[in-house]
Amino acid sequence: MPLTPSPAPAPAAISADDRSLGDRVRTGALWAGGNALFLRVANILIMAVVARIVAPAELGVFALTLVVHGIVVSMAELGVASAIARSDQNVDSIAPTVVTISIVTSLTLGTLMAVFAAPLALLLGSGAAEDPLRVMALCVALVGPFAVPGALLQREFRQDLVFRAAAIAFVPGSAVLIVVSLAGDGAMAFAWSRVVGQLVMGSLMLLSVKRRYRPGFNTRVLASLIRFGLPLAFANLLSQVLLNIDYVFVGRFLSIEEVGLYNLAFNISLWSTAVIGSILNGLVLPAFSRVRAEGGDTTDALARGVRTVALIAAPLAALAFALAAPLIVTVYGGQWSAAAPVLRVLSLYGFLSVICLLLANVIVATGRTGVLFWVQAVALAALVPAMWAGVSVAGLIGVAAAHIVVILVATFPLYVLAIKRSLGAGPATILPALAWPAIAAGLAGVAAWLAASLLTVPALQLLTGGAAGALVYLALTSPLLLPLFPATGRLRSVRVVLDVLGRPAAWVTHRIARSAP
């Protein structure tokens, strides 16, 4: 994984609770967005503390650990849990089989990860990753018992319950992170905090669902589940390789300390993906599949989704580019300042990756999961030589640039082509929806850089530049942002502010329109 209102609203009513799909998706999106934003801000605050305790090399060791974890966990339930989130599936008939597959697969993979931790650590280029790998194997094993409850909450748009579980789990996870870090082992601190957080959150989600399913096995649904889930799982596997192969190159060709610096920059560049991705992964699949099932306008839903995602992701990327140095020094400390040039390069990748995530979720909603596998396979084939060339020529900057080149020339075009074949809506729908948010974000980034350049203190640069960029962006995009907020209720004041900020831009647009022949 993504905002405020639904990326894919639909006008059809849900007779079960007399609320429209659009209302349910909008409510779920607000909860998912609030959840992701809360966790992102909370994580930034915790990391700002921990970054002053651990060294870049310790973060580098954990980053290498996450390479193996991300690859293994992508196959932990063979992709079958996503079938439960699809609105066109009968949950009662498939859930017991999904439970069995999820538990058996995740436990097997977690065991193998723990057994082969030592050779995997050496393969990554750091023997210090062995113990964190064994701890993170527990996270893989925990995927199985909680896969179905999580998918059920996703299907019912109960992001409020997910928010509650995540918020509660954040507290013990963060406590473990700080305590173990102070004890002197940063990599193990990150690993154990993940285990504790996942265990608490999964348990709360399990207690939140109305229906609980025991393991079972129905051979009549097994084939269809595997046909749907396995291509998705392999696509996720390749996606994880794409996201993590850079750490392998940095670890093997550069140093563990540079892995830590790169990890920090990469995570900041994906702030928008972290926030928006949770909405996309939680809502697009059930919402878009419902739109298709009820004969809704999928082209309009796609355009709305792309525009909404771009409105959030584009300014975050532009401000990260313009304010990279003061952002890193202010939040994380001077020892991480070398990550700033890498962040500038990766900021564009962060924007493009969240757009690709939206398109991938739409493709999954159409049931064509095999397409994702081939897109990821082509992207991986392009990324390996690009990454080798990048790290050889320009070090960390070259590694970051390789990501941008591949997503521009391979991943994004292939997703657009797949959408065109699946829905009949291609570049003519997607590119116009991206255009104005991207232009407005670019202008906002220029304003932020100019304002920050007038000062010398990093904290003041960040505050002044951020405020200037935000005001410019809101003024330019308020007509598009206004429909995302309800006209009544607690968020009514947001509409009032956006309306006031957007009046100058609206006046200029009106004058241009009147003067046009």
Res 134 pLDDT > 80: yes
Q: Is a pLDDT exceeding 50 seen at residue 510?
A: no
Name the domain count of the chain: 1
Mean pLDDT value of segment 274-292: 63
Closest Cα partner for 445 from 481, 425, 471, 416? 471
Position 144 pLDDT exceeds 60: yes
Is pLDDT of 488 > 70? no
Domain extent at residue 317: 13-484
What is the mean pLDDT of the segment spanning 231-243?
A: 78
Are 161 and 208 contacting, i.e. CB atoms less than 8 angstroms apart? yes
Average pLDDT, the chain: 79
Sort residue 184 into left (φ over 0), alpha (ψ -120 to 50) or beta: left
Q: Is position 379 within any domain?
A: yes
Select from 382, 380, 402, 379 the least CA-distant residue to 391. Answer: 402
Angle between helices 340-365 and 427-453 (to 10 degrees): 160
**What pLDDT band is residue 275 in, cutting at 50, 70 and 90?**
low
Looking at the predicted structure, is the pLDDT value of residue 10 above 60? no
- pLDDT of 19 > 50? The answer is no
Q: Which two tokens stand for residue 421?
A: 């074949």
Neighbouring CB atoms inside 10 A of 53's CB total: 14
Please give the structure tokens belonging to residue 336: 């991480």
| pLDDT per position as a tens digit, 196-223 | 998 998 888 888 877 888 888 877 777 7
Q: Which residue has the higher pLDDT, 389 or 488?
A: 389
- On whether residue 517 sits in a domain, the answer given is no
Q: pTM for this one?
A: 0.71
> How far is Cα 188 from Cα 132, in angstroms, rounded to an integer?
5
- Is residue 505 classed as helix, strand or coil in its secondary structure? helix
d(CA 235, CA 374): 8
Q: Angle, to 10 degrees, between the axis of helix 219-253 and the axis of helix 117-124? A: 50
Please identify which residue in the block is written with the tokens 């997910």: 162
| Mean pLDDT, range 383-402, rounded to an integer | 91
Of residues 369 and 32, the one with the higher pLDDT is 369
* Cβ burial 58-83 (10 Å sphere, 16+ → b, else e): bbbbbbbbbbbbbbbbbbbbbbbbbb
Q: Say which residue, 26 or 47, is predicted with more confidence.
A: 47
Mean pLDDT of 322-344: 91
Please report the pLDDT score of residue 233 as a whole number. Answer: 80
Query: What pLDDT was estimated at residue 13?
Result: 36
Sort residue 319 into left (φ over 0), alpha (ψ -120 to 50) or beta.
Answer: alpha
Per DSSP, 408 falls in state I
261 found inside a domain: yes
Mean pLDDT of 27-55: 69
The answer to whether residue 504 is domain-embedded is no
Whether 315 has a pLDDT exceeding 70, the answer reads: yes
Residue 45 covered by a domain: yes
| Residue 492 counted as domain residue | no
Two structure tokens written together for 307? 């525009």
pLDDT in the model for residue 343: 93
**Domain-located, residue 495:** no
For residue 510, tell me if it sits in a domain.
no
Comparing 459 with 420, which gets the higher pLDDT?
459
CA quadruple 229, 231, 235, 238: dihedral sign? positive
Q: Work out the pLDDT band at 412, boundaries 50, 70, 90.
A: very high
Bigger pLDDT: 501 vs 465: 465
CA distances from 67 to 46, 119, 378, 405 (A): 22, 14, 20, 21
